[in-house]
Amino acid sequence: MKHLIFTVCFVILHHSFAQKVGISVSSRFFHPLSKNDPLSTLDIIEKLNVTQIDWLYCSESSKIKLLKERNIKFSLAINPQIPDSGEYTAKGRIIGLNGEKYIAPWMKVWNQKNPNWGCVNSPFFNDLFIRKSKELVDLGAYAILVDDSRFNEQSVESGGCFCEYCVNKFTRYLIDLGHTEINDKFNYKEYLKSQGIMKFKYRDNTILYRQEFCDFQRKSVINFLNNWKYSIKTYSQKVDLLTNNYRGKWDSIYSIFDGGICEIVTDSLTDSYFQRIVKINNELKKSQSFTLVSNDIGLNLQFLLLCKKYSITAIAPWDVFIGTGKDNKPLRYYLDVDILAALYKNYSLFKGYKIIKNKDNSLLTLQFKKISNKKYILRNKAD
């Protein structure tokens, strides 16, 4: 009888989660990266029965071949920091008012070889970005993911771009807007410096043409991405174009893409947020997957269950970015593989799970809801 009760409960619970959503991981890099790297992308594929990999930085065809052999769909990532000179970012970059090359504020401590973002108004960077994207298409990616697609628009928050292309184009932009008080000799960079302005502040209303400059930088990104999209879609009609859209938003830049991968924050783990996202994406016909920015196991399980409930692809919490660590390196989170594998095998078992921790956090027990007269305990694990 006990067995019968268990079976009936299981079937009912299982049925409510019947819609199939692919299992995606975001192995940001193809592990192992070196002989000392204990992580393995292929291992995780096998253990979690992964069907796709998203946001992967990889251009080595020998590694890509391993994914193809396993019938794994993969999206390959590109970002504003594509190197142009060996491993370095030297040419066609965003340059501030005082000649400094732009580094995203959250990356300043990462000490990368290629920290500088490309300028969307640089013809050199335009060609580079299209060429590198086509190389990713050639590797067989189902999608190209532009990681940080706001380019110059984002840089405005830290001073914007005053490279020769931006300065010249901005003069033309102002004249086309009907600013008859200037002529084609006008140089916005020189003008700001003549006013003693050492840094362009995007919220400072006292700066002449401040709003026009912000609009110009945003529109430049839109033009750049539309041109890039045309080139890539002409090159391959099949490939999807994705971006990491903050909080699942679709603004004038993100809307250029077919879909988004959103790094959601923990306050978004609510039914109302997920319902809103599903509604918006259905209306706009955008694909949307989520990755959670948290290293809390309970929140991550809650996240995976919500994604399952709303048929949204969840990037498995394995190798996901959660901020910058004390060592000034990007901090990544890996949820226990066995727990993840159990969840993907049987979501319904996790309905009503409970996490019990020892007071000193040394022991973690994952305890499941009583669905017969037994309690189901998956594992005990040193934290």
292, burial (CB in 10 Å: exposed 0-12, middle 13-18, buried 19+): buried
Distances (CA, A) of 89 to 98, 106, 108, 136, 285: 18, 18, 14, 19, 36
Q: Is 151 or 254 the residue whose CB approaches Zn ion more closely?
A: 151
Distances (CA, A) of 124 to 106, 115, 120, 153, 160: 26, 17, 9, 19, 18
Q: Is 23 or 120 the residue whose CB approaches Zn ion more closely?
A: 120
Find where tokens 């697609």 sit.
Answer: 149
- Minimum distance of Zn ion from residue 228's CB (angstroms): 16
Please give the single-letter amino acid code of residue 14.
H
- Minimum distance of Zn ion from residue 61's CB (angstroms): 33
Q: Is 199 or 375 the residue whose CB approaches Zn ion more closely?
A: 199
- Minimum distance of Zn ion from residue 162's CB (angstroms): 7
CA atoms within 13 A on the CB side of 157: 8
Site for Zn ion in 311-340 (CB under 5 A): none
Site string for Zn ion, 158-177 (x = CB under 5 A): ---x-x--x-----------
Q: Is 97 or 364 the residue whose CB approaches Zn ion more closely?
A: 97
User: For residues 247 and 253, what is the distance between their CA atoms, to the nearest angstrom?
Assistant: 14
Binding residues for Zn ion, total number by CB under 5 A: 5
- Minimum distance of Zn ion from residue 103's CB (angstroms): 15
Regarding 156 and contact with Zn ion (CB under 5 A), the answer is no
Q: Is 92 or 260 the residue whose CB approaches Zn ion more closely?
A: 92
Per CB under 5 A, the segment of 11-19, 156-164, 210-218, 289-297 that binds Zn ion is: 156-164
Phi and psi at residue 107, to the nearest 5°: -105, 0
Site for Zn ion in 120-139 (CB under 5 A): 121
- Minimum distance of Zn ion from residue 168's CB (angstroms): 10
Q: Is 121 or 243 the residue whose CB approaches Zn ion more closely?
A: 121
Nearest Cα to Cα of residue 41 among 322, 262, 383, 50 = 50
Order of all β-strands in the sheet with 354-357: 354-357, 363-367, 377-382
Q: Are the C-beta atoms of 98 and 198 separated by less than 8 Å?
A: yes
Nearest Cα to Cα of residue 38 among 301, 319, 300 = 319
Q: Is 76 or 161 the residue whose CB approaches Zn ion more closely?
A: 161
- Minimum distance of Zn ion from residue 173's CB (angstroms): 13
User: For residues 313 and 286, what is the distance between their CA atoms, to the nearest angstrom?
Assistant: 13
- Minimum distance of Zn ion from residue 119's CB (angstroms): 3
Site for Zn ion in 64-123 (CB under 5 A): 119, 121
Q: Are the C-beta atoms of 1 and 28 separated by less than 8 Å?
A: no
Helix or strand or coil: residue 299?
Answer: helix
- Minimum distance of Zn ion from residue 17's CB (angstroms): 49
Q: Where does residue 57 fall: left (phi above 0), alpha (psi -120 to 50 degrees), or beta otherwise? A: beta
Q: Is 153 or 263 the residue whose CB approaches Zn ion more closely?
A: 153
- Minimum distance of Zn ion from residue 124's CB (angstroms): 11
Q: Is 151 or 347 the residue whose CB approaches Zn ion more closely?
A: 151
Find where tokens 């539309």 sit.
Answer: 226
Per CB under 5 A, the segment of 157-165, 185-193, 221-229, 307-315 that binds Zn ion is: 157-165
> Which residues of this protein are in contact with Zn ion, per CB under 5 A?
119, 121, 161, 163, 166
